[in-house]
Structure 1
């Protein structure tokens, strides 16, 4: 085996070991410590924890999630974990962007053409079940994530969870 393949194999093994040690840890932290991408960590999750679908479903997923009421959007980079609660406004394509319009704290412009895949994630996070949809770029990083919200007791909202499970089952089939 060549040196590059061996190095990548050792990095994947480091990620696998980190997941074994803390299976509900922060994906980006595991990726950074193992020198792999978050997409490579998602590929190592237990069967069914990450279901990958085509980026061609971007607009359909956005529209569906937009009917769920307030959701949590997270943008996680090396420098910030930005969390915004709001309903997903309608979006439209124009000038090479997916433009978000509406009366919500969630707004802006997304380079939709950079979305390479979409992952439905259903896994424990810090001891609690967490369900989210990650819009992944070709570099193996999440562009942004949309999460099923929690109630005052920190339980997933039942109606959103039901919709998440149904959408994941339908699109990942």
Structure 2
């Protein structure tokens, strides 16, 4: 085992212990601090906090999100954190993109073939519960995240949380059924 591989394994072991005590914090910052990908950091969280499904479900997930109402969409890079509260518009595939239809604050063109993993993540952040769907590429970096919205009391919207868990459970059950013995 090379020292780089050994160093990564040590970092992962340390991080798993830390995150077992508290899953709070900005995951991208934790990834940078430990020189890991965001997917590596997510996998260090307690298993009960996250469910991973294959990126092939991208279009189906996006189609369902279009029915959930106002959501919080975040793009987090090394240089900026962009947040938009919007309904996820309906979209369609064309020219290698999932093209979001106009008429909403959120619009654009997404590359579904770059999304290798979709993670359903529930965890505390700054003292409040969160539920998000994170779309990750093959390098373990997040293209964007969609967070369940909040009601007038700043609690997670129960209707969206129900959709979130239903979609997560349905996709993870389908993956389990399709897995070879």
Higher percent of residues as helix: 2
Cα 1:148/1:126, change in 2 over 3 Å: same
Paired residues for 1:3-152 under 5 Å = 3-20=3-20, 22-152=22-152
Specify the alignment match of 2:158 in structure 1: 158
Give the number of equivalent residue pairs: 173
The normalised TM-score by structure 1 is 0.94
Cα drift, residue 125 of structure 1: 1.3
CA distance in 1 between counterparts of 2:66 and 2:80 reads 24
Cα drift, residue 123 of structure 1: 1.2
**Which 5+ residue runs of structure 2 have no aligned equivalent?**
174-181
CA distance in 2 between counterparts of 1:18 and 1:75 reads 25
Question: Does the Cα contact within 8 Å between 2:27 and 2:38 map onto a contact in 1?
Answer: yes
Residue-by-residue CA offset, 1:75-121 (whole Å, 9 max, x unaligned): 01111110001111111111111111121111011111110110000
Cα drift, residue 48 of structure 1: 2.1
CA distance in 1 between counterparts of 2:111 and 2:29 reads 25
Residue-by-residue CA offset, 1:26-72 (whole Å, 9 max, x unaligned): 11111111110110011011122110011111011101111011111
**Which 5+ residue runs of structure 1 have no aligned equivalent?**
none
Which aligned runs of 4 or more in structure 1 are off by greater than 3 angstroms? none
Indicate whether 1:168 and 2:162 are aligned. Answer: no
Question: Does the Cα contact within 8 Å between 1:118 and 1:136 map onto a contact in 2?
Answer: yes
RMSD: 1.4
